[in-house]
Structure 1
């Protein structure tokens, strides 16, 4: 392990042990809830309905989910290059959280679409279809990793899958720019967008979800470290308690 890698891992471990992300999650989460239910308008796409407020968490969940998958990609690359278990643990922990955020994105989006677009799902919408494909890709990553155990070969296989599968993420997020979207018209940089979303409220919610991701990421990485130490202690204990005799 090089000095730069060692310092980087040390910095990340200190960040993950810090209580600051938890406090920031709580603070921005409370402010987000207050702004969404107290300030944000529930009128979007010409419809006034309380379900529109879900957009202030639906969009951040999708964005932070994309960040989580990017961290998984980087962790997989670094693990394949260095063989350092920390990067594997980081990739897996971030993949778990990205998958959860992607699931919540699909659930909240479907509930929102049922009221606003009068449909739970539309297979003709390119964003919906490509994002569902991303969801399946990372479900596969987690399934492969679940079978890895302590085997380095299977861990490398999961990492290769995480690197290759990441190509679906930028394609999904750029899909509304690359193809004509039936339901998800681009809103950023699009003056004709019909969704009247308050940028300030959306930003606070994005920060809340971001710090929530960072807090849970640190918790999952620490849990991985504890699991590795426990496995090492169990192996050492078995080695000490099992003493073969001459008849074995």
Structure 2
């Protein structure tokens, strides 16, 4: 492990072990709840309905989920290049969270779409289809890793899969600009967007979900490291306990 890599890992561990993001998660989470239910507009796409408030968590979940999968991609690349277990553990922990956030994005989006578009799902919408494809890709990554996480060959296979599978993430997020979208029209930089989301509330919710991701990622990485230490102690104990009988 090179000195630059050691410094980088040391910095990331200090960030993940800090208790600051836990307190910030609580602070911004409470602020998000208060603003969403007390200040945010529930009128979107020409429809006034309480379910529109889901948007203030649906959008942050989608954005932070994409960030989590980007971290997985970078962790997989670093692991393949260096072979350092920290990158593998970071990639896997972030993939778990990215998969959970992607699942919540699909669930909240379906609930929101049922009111706005009068349908739970529409196979002709490019954003829905590509995002579901992302969900299946990372379900596959987690399945591969769970088949033997920690074993060198399986870990490298999962990392290669994580690198190749990442191509689906930017395609999904850019899909509404690459192809014609039936339901999900581009909102950023689009003056004709009809969502009318209260930007300040959306920003607070985005920060809350981001700090939640950091807190959960820190917990997952620590759990990975503890599991590695326990497995190492078990193997050492078995090695020291088993001693071949000497023949005389």
Q: What TM-score bracket applies, with the shorter chain setting the length? A: over 0.9
Structure 2: distance between partners of 1:150 and 1:2: 22
Post-superposition offset of 1:151 = 1.6
- Which residue of structure 2 aligns with residue 161 of structure 1? 161
Aligned 1:162-177 pairs, distance under 5 A: 162-177=162-177
Distance 1:229 1:160 in 2: 25
Q: Give the 5 Å matches for 1:49-68.
A: 49-68=49-68
Q: Tell me by how many angstroms 1:16 deviates.
A: 1.1
Indicate the residue corresponding to 2:47 in structure 1.
47
TM-fit CA distance, 1:246: 3.0
Where does 1:126-141 land on structure 2 (aligned, <5 Å)? Answer: 126-141=126-141
Partner of 2:240: 240
Query: 1:2 maps to which residue?
Result: 2
Q: 1:68-118 CA deviation, whole Å, 9 max, x = no partner?
A: 000000000000000000000000000000000000000000000011110
Q: Which residue of 2 aligns with 1:208?
A: 208
| Alignment correspondent of 1:100 | 100
Deviation at 1:186, TM superposition (A): 0.6
Q: Provide the C-alpha distance between the structure 2 equivalents of 1:86 and 1:154, rounded to a whole number of angstroms.
A: 16
Which string of whole-angstrom CA distances, capped at 9 and with x for unpartnered residues, describes residues 137-195 of structure 1? Answer: 00000000001233201110000000000000000000000001000001111111111
Query: 2 CA distance for matches of 1:178 and 1:22?
Result: 38
Structure 2 distance, partners of 1:71, 1:101, is: 14
Aligned residue number for residue 124 of structure 1: 124
Supply the distance in 2 between the matched residues of 1:15 and 1:91 (Cα, whole angstroms): 16
Structure 1: distance between partners of 2:176 and 2:57: 20
For residue 15 of structure 1, report the CA deviation from its aligned partner: 1.0
Superimposed CA distance per residue, residues 125-148 of structure 1 (whole angstroms, 9 cap, x where no aligned partner): 000000000000000000000012
Q: How many residues align?
A: 247
Structure 1 consecutive aligned stretches of length 4 or more whose deviation exceeds 6 Å: none
Q: Which residue of 2 aligns with 1:114?
A: 114
* 1:43 Cα deviation after fit: 0.5
- Give the Cα separation in 2 of the matches to 1:151 and 1:99: 22
Q: 5+ residue gaps in structure 1? A: none
Q: Secondary structure at the match of 1:148?
A: coil
How many angstroms apart in 1 are the aligned matches of 2:147 and 2:77? 20
Query: How far apart, CA to CA, are the structure 2 residues paired with 1:102 and 1:154?
Result: 24
Q: What is the match of residue 230 of structure 1?
A: 230
Distance 2:149 2:55 in 1: 39
Give the whole-Å Cα distance in 2 for the aligned partners of 1:5 and 1:227.
Answer: 22
C-alpha separation between the residues in 2 aligned to 1:197 and 1:149? 42
